[in-house]
Structure 1
Amino acid sequence: MRKENVSKLLVVLLVVPLFLVGCGQSKEKITIVGSSALQPLIEQAGNDYHLAHLDSNIVVQGGGSGTGLSQVQAGAVQVGTSDVFAETQKGIDEKKLQDYPVAIVGIVPIANKGVGVKNLSKKQLAAIFTGKITNWRQVGGKNLPIIVINRSRGSGTRTTFEDLILNGKDAVNSQEQDSNGTVKKIVNSTPGTISYISFPYANDENIQKISIDHVQPINKNIPTNKWSLWSYEHMYTKGKPNKATAKFINYVLSKKVQRDLVPKIGYLSIHEMKVSRDSENKVTKIGN
């Protein structure tokens, strides 16, 4: 090979890797950690967003609302997702965080199909999760011991459930799991079990969704608080988000996502609500 051709080849080999490195560096990584209840929506929104913005790099992980809030406050991630208001969590300074409510999610008690119960009163549900009712026959079901599966203490779903159902009483000591998906698998396969999961995960025919006081656990009952077991889904940033993060949050709040993707996956748009709920669980009609 002639000397000048070798020189040209070396230049090309040097330039191409530099070009590829430059392209890789143009992607600004957005790490989103926290609520497993919100995870399906943010994962799908992230995938859709990437198709339209190929330079985006969005990584979504669970871990629970407590983890999301603590990590975003520490600056370890760009977004912390949570089912609960930051001000309700110990060790979290909500003044340092920016709150973006992006959806509403319902929470539903579920039981193994073999228990023979489809409805419980709120009082009965509280008695089960505090250990006062221990057999399904006590609530009209089969003669089976009740096995409670609770969520981990960092779970926002657990916080919401206990605030709204147990009214500050302590839950019975029981097995704890940190994700909706794991809870559903255990309830599917274990006779006598009861737990609770968010609506987007409650699409399995093998589980028994439990009505509360004969109100069905469906999205159309949430906007007026007829089904009162629901929570806001929050995306939190530490102060003002960077440009890339702000663009993605705006996308999640866009009409396209709120109107199409949110209900498709099983959530409720924040724009559908007829009531609002504050961090102390006080419910007021919107517009009052």
Structure 2
Amino acid sequence: MAKSSGPPPIVYILALLLIGGGGYWFLTHKNKQPESTVTNTQSTETQITTTTTFPSPTNVASGTVVRVDGSTSMVTINQNLKGGFEKQFPGTNVATSARGSSQGIQSLLAGSVDVAASSRPLTPQEQAQGLEAIPIASDKIAIVVGINNPFNGSLTSNQVKGIFQGQITNWSELGGANVTIRVINRPPVSGTHQTFKEMVLNGENFGNSSNITTLERDATTPMLRALGNDGIGYATYAQVQYQQTVRSLPIDNLLPSSTTYPLSRQLFYVYQNPPTQAVRDFLGYATSPQGQQAIFAN
């Protein structure tokens, strides 16, 4: 019988096992590195509004101008920082306006302002356009009535939700007089409106019943004047804390002055990346100990 030529069958078997094992390793490992890279990138993007910091400036060039527009809830903060910044750095000018968070952000994108004051976080679409936000201060949303409103009780969070969605329309449903509740709502361009919608209404819509009036312009003073003795509205606590014509209602038996008050939020300054030197200097001051002290000055 003739001898067979070539390697024995065991060699072919081993070769097939090696090829199969190599293919399996390639298929199971080829996507691991990109997945890790994507995860890291996403982690960085979700933190860009909270991790960016600016050094406190020691000198700011005379003639520096910073234009700020945005949330009506941040008028006092903007004015206090303006005063402190201009005093510490003579020859500088901080010009402030308050046309609402969304309008301020649109003005920032258009290049007509340098900083947008916002009472809401940035949307993913706004971040995608190169905007970044840093927290400036915490604030609280107060539920307010006229000083002579006869209702003196506390509201639960669910009752507040029901009032602003038109499900509770009479003060008698809350233990008060048999009088229709006039709800004074802010317009959708208001950052406080958007924050209230997320915080109190759980992202649901405001009601459209006949007792609810939505203001055309986002301004706190007209809203407070419209409350009368039967109205209810909402504002940032800093805006109404020292008002003599309105008062804040307790929510879940807690007044806004309480550290555990449930309707609290973060306030932001938004800038276009990369920031100019003027923006760096202003934000560095705003987040410095001196700036934080100025924010809460009476």
Superposition TM-score tier, normalisation by shorter sequence: 0.7 to 0.9
What is the rounded CA distance, in whole Å, between the counterparts of 1:169 and 1:115 in structure 2? 29
What is the rounded CA distance, in whole Å, between the counterparts of 2:134 and 2:128 in structure 1? 12
Mapping of residues 1-288 of structure 1, within 5 Å: 27-87=63-123, 92-94=126-128, 96-112=130-146, 113-173=148-208, 174-176=213-215, 177-187=217-227, 190-202=228-240, 203-218=242-257, 220-221=258-259, 226-258=260-292, 260-265=293-298
Shift of 1:133: 1.0
| TM-score, length-scaled by structure 1 | 0.75
Secondary structure, counterpart of 1:231 in structure 2: strand
Question: Unmatched 5+ residue regions in structure 2?
Answer: 1-60
Whether contact under 8 Å (2:81, 2:295) holds in the other structure is no
Shift of 1:94: 4.5
- More strand per residue: 1 or 2? 1
Percent identity over paired residues: 24
Secondary structure, counterpart of 1:234 in structure 2: strand
Cα shift readout 1:89-136 (whole Å, capped 9, x = no counterpart): xx6344501212111111110012324133111111111101111111
Whether contact under 8 Å (1:111, 1:209) holds in the other structure is yes
Whether contact under 8 Å (2:143, 2:248) holds in the other structure is yes
Whether contact under 8 Å (1:45, 1:257) holds in the other structure is yes
Shift of 1:182: 2.7
Whether contact under 8 Å (2:84, 2:294) holds in the other structure is no
Structure 1 residues 125 and 237: CA distance shift in structure 2, 3 A: same
* Bigger Rg, structure 1 or 2: 2
Secondary structure, counterpart of 1:32 in structure 2: strand
1:103 is aligned with what amino acid? Answer: A
Question: Unmatched 5+ residue regions in structure 1?
Answer: 1-24, 266-288
What is the rounded CA distance, in whole Å, between the counterparts of 1:185 and 1:144 in structure 2? 19
Cα shift readout 1:37-80 (whole Å, capped 9, x = no counterpart): 11211112112211222221110000111111111122221001
Figure out how many residues of one structure are paired with residues of the other and give that number: 231
| TM-score, length-scaled by structure 2 | 0.72
